[in-house]
Structure formats: C-alpha cells, structure tokens
Amino acid sequence: MRASEYIVRSFGDSSAWVVEELKRRGVKRVDTSRFQTYAEKFARNAYLVCEQADMNGRGHPESLAAISDVNEMDTILQGLPDAKACDLQALVNDNPVQSPIEASPGRDRQLELFVAATLMLGGCNAKYGSAMKSVSRQQSDAWVEAGGVWVALEVKRVKSLRRLESCLLDRSGIVEQLGRSELYLGVGCIDVSVAINPSDAVLHTQRSHEEIDASLRDRLRNFVLEYNSVFRRAFTRSAKLIGILVVDQTFVYHDGTGVFEYKSNYFIDGLDRCRPKTRAMEAFKRAIVLGSRNCVNLDKLKRVPGIADIPMLMGLRPMDQVISMRHHQSDKSP
C-alpha cells in the first residue's frame, strides 16, 4: 500500500477497525487489550479530551494515549498488510496509561513498526519482525530499502533527556546495534515526545495554526541544537550511521474554536556527503514525507550549525485526527 491508498477513518471507526483487524490476523488477547478499551470508550464518546484538559494543560492521560496509539496502530496495519500475529502480539500487552519510568515493550515495538509502516507507505520496501529471521543473524528493528540500498533501522523511545546519550551511545544503544548489523548503512530513530513532555501536557492556545507550527518546529530545532555534541559523537563513532530521525508528537487545543490536534514534528539529519549515503538518506527522507501523508518539507528552514545537511520536516496528522468538539458531543454518559 502507498499513502495515496490509505483509508482515512474517524477515531471511533479507526479504533473499532484496529480491534477487528488484529483479531483477523490471529493476535491473541485482543479483547483484554488497551485497544479494546479504546474502542469501547470511543464508541460511547467517553474521550472528550479537550473538556477534560484544564487550563494548565493537564489532559486525561488515557484519552491522549488512545489517540496516539490508535493512530499509530492504524498506520501499522494499513502500511504493513503482511505483518503476522507473531509480529503484532507484543503490541497489545501494554496498559492504556504508563508512567514515563515504567518499561513499555508493547509501545517500543509499536514505534518500530510505525516507522517501518510510514516508510512503506512512502514507497520504500521494508523487512521487519519474523521476516528478518530469514535474512539476518543480528536482527535490527527493521531493514529498509532506500535509494536502491538496504539500510538497517534502529529505533528507541527516549523517556528522559538524561537517557538520550545512552540511547545513542551505550553498548545497547543505536550506534552499537547498527555496528552489529550485516548491512553497510544504518539510520537511527529516537522518539523524544515523552522526554520533552513527560506529563503529556496539552498546549492551550489562541494562536493560528501556522504560528503553532512554527513554535513546535523551533522547539525541536532548539532540542537538536542543545544536544548537538551528542549527535555529532554518534556520527563520529559510527561510519554506518547516515542519519538520525527525531520525532516529537504534541497535543494542541485551540481555545475558542474547540479544535484539538495531534501534531508530529520530524527532524532528520545526516553528515556524510558520500554519494551512496546521500542518495540513501534523501530516499529515506522522501519516504518519511510521503508516508506521513500530510508532511510538509521545509527546505528553507535555517540549518543547525555542524549537523544539518538534510532539512527539518514538519508532519501534520491527516484530517481524521483533528477533533472538533462540536462533532463529538454526546448525550450518552461515559
């Protein structure tokens, strides 16, 4: 499937479809999973996120988790139509709400498959999960064909900024994992959403969508600049590493209009100007743009000194992921 073939659904329809599709693929214990909980509560309009968020931005944790989890799982199931039960089983095991300090193997695997699915929707080929066993002794999180070259993909969820360096550079970090791959090139991906916003605060604003987009881009750009030395050490230590994808997902509520948005910021970068590496990195970037469906390529943004050969990307979720509270009111009680 490509992004142009993606079926857009409402939150409620998407949550119900995710449950049925997981069952169809043979995943066990779906009826007791967080996705079943989400589907039941969406069905009775129990997730009125904006009304449950106070003016300090404290949202209802489970409702925010439901929005992000359902959207990522919808992308996974559509973008990876050949994913088997053994590839998906771990995804149903986490609780609806998890503390930033708790282990969450289900969501960790969910992120890995979400990135692979986004790249598949963007036109890349990918090997993941059970398919990796036949091609690799040292399994990466996924292999992606970008620019005619297969690239190893290592994905980490960074839950604390104090853990950023270890996620990249420790013995179990991205650089070392790529070093054990049989492939010549690799890309690291880190999701810093929890590290930057551990309380899942909802941003209340009366500013325009464009002004919010600019602020979120600046936030991620400032983050990359602040940790510039860590990223540079990762590139210096690994000749295989051709780029790092940084993901920051944010909830925004526009006061007055009642519009609630789930936005994704992407920053993707590489240092090496070697032609095969540059070609692979550019192909990877294009696939992220296309696979994210509403991703805008902001080539004219100012580069981060010392790192940025590849431009920052800003991705907005599609319109099914924009909630107008006027359309989600219900006389039914939660």
What is the spatial distance between Cα 229 and Cα 55, in angstroms, rounded to a whole number? 36
Residue 47 predicted with pLDDT over 90: no
Q: Between residues 33 and 104, which one has the greater pLDDT?
A: 33
Cβ–Cβ < 8 Å for 253, 53: yes
Cβ–Cβ < 8 Å for 242, 186: yes
Residue 332 predicted with pLDDT over 60: no
Residue 271 predicted with pLDDT over 70: no
Where b means 16+ CB within 10 Å and e means fewer, 193-229 reads bbbbbeebebbebeeeeeebbeebbeebbebbeebee
* Residue 316 domain-assigned (yes or no): yes
**Average model confidence (pLDDT) across the chain:** 78
Q: For 139-166, how does the pLDDT look when each residue is reduced to its tens digit (9 = 90+)? A: 789 999 988 889 999 999 999 999 999 9
Sign of CA dihedral 88, 22, 10, 98: negative
What is the spatial distance between Cα 203 and Cα 158, in angstroms, rounded to a whole number? 21
Length of the chain: 334
Q: Which helix (H) or strand (E) holds 188?
A: strand 185-191
Least confident of 96-100, 165-169, 214-218, 302-306: 302-306
Instruction: Specify the pLDDT at position 200.
Output: 76
Q: For 242-251, how does the pLDDT look when each residue is reduced to its tens digit (9 = 90+)? A: 888 888 888 7
Structurally, the chain folds into a number of domains equal to 1
Q: Which two tokens stand for residue 55?
A: 């003016």
Residue 190 predicted with pLDDT over 80: yes
Instruction: Specify the pLDDT at position 259.
Output: 67
* Residue 33 domain-assigned (yes or no): no
* Residue 10 domain-assigned (yes or no): no
* Residue 138 domain-assigned (yes or no): yes
Return phi, psi of residue 131, to 5°: -70, -20
Report residue 92's pLDDT band, with 50, 70 and 90 as the boundaries. very high
Report residue 288's pLDDT band, with 50, 70 and 90 as the boundaries. confident
What is the spatial distance between Cα 142 and Cα 151, in angstroms, rounded to a whole number? 9
**Strand partners for 313:** 266, 297
Report residue 273's pLDDT band, with 50, 70 and 90 as the boundaries. low
Per the structure, the complete domain to which residue 276 belongs is given by: 104-327
What average pLDDT score do residues 250-264 get? 72
Q: Which two tokens stand for residue 78?
A: 């559509």
User: DSSP state, 8?
Assistant: P
260 three-class SS: strand
* Residue 86 domain-assigned (yes or no): no
Q: Where are the beta strands (DSSP E) in 13-99?
A: none
The closest alpha carbon to 149, from 272, 2, 282, 268, belongs to 282
Instruction: Specify the pLDDT at position 270.
Output: 64
Best mean pLDDT range from 44-58, 180-194, 294-308, 311-325: 180-194
Report residue 29's pLDDT band, with 50, 70 and 90 as the boundaries. very high
Burial class (CB in 10 A: 0-12, 13-18, 19+), 22: buried
Longest alpha-carbon distance in the chain: 61
Instruction: Specify the pLDDT at position 284.
Output: 87
Residue 330 predicted with pLDDT over 80: no
Q: Between residues 266 and 109, which one has the greater pLDDT?
A: 109
* Residue 27 domain-assigned (yes or no): no
* Residue 74 domain-assigned (yes or no): no
Q: For 299-318, how does the pLDDT look when each residue is reduced to its tens digit (9 = 90+)? A: 444 444 443 333 334 333 33
Residue 52 predicted with pLDDT over 50: no
* Residue 254 domain-assigned (yes or no): yes
- What is the three-state SS of the chain? CCHHHCCCCCHHHHHHHHHHHHHHCCCCCHHHCHHHHHHHHHHCCCCCCHHHCCCCCECCHHHHHHHHHHHHHHHHHHHCCCCCHHHHHHHHCCCCCCCCCCCCHHHHHHHHHHHHHHHHHCCCEEEEHHHHHHCCCCCCCEEEEECCEEEEEEEEECCCHHHHHHHHHCCCCHHHHHHCCCCCEEEEEEECHHHHCCCCECEEECCCHHHHHHHHHHHHHHHHHHCHHHHHHHHHHCCCEEEEEEEEEEEEEECCCCEEEEEEEEEEECCCCCHHHHHHHHHHHHHHHHHCCCEEECCCCCCCCCCCCCCEEEEECCHHHEEEHHHCCCCCCC
DSSP assignment string, 118-147: HHHHTT-EEEEGGGGGGT-SS--SEEEEET
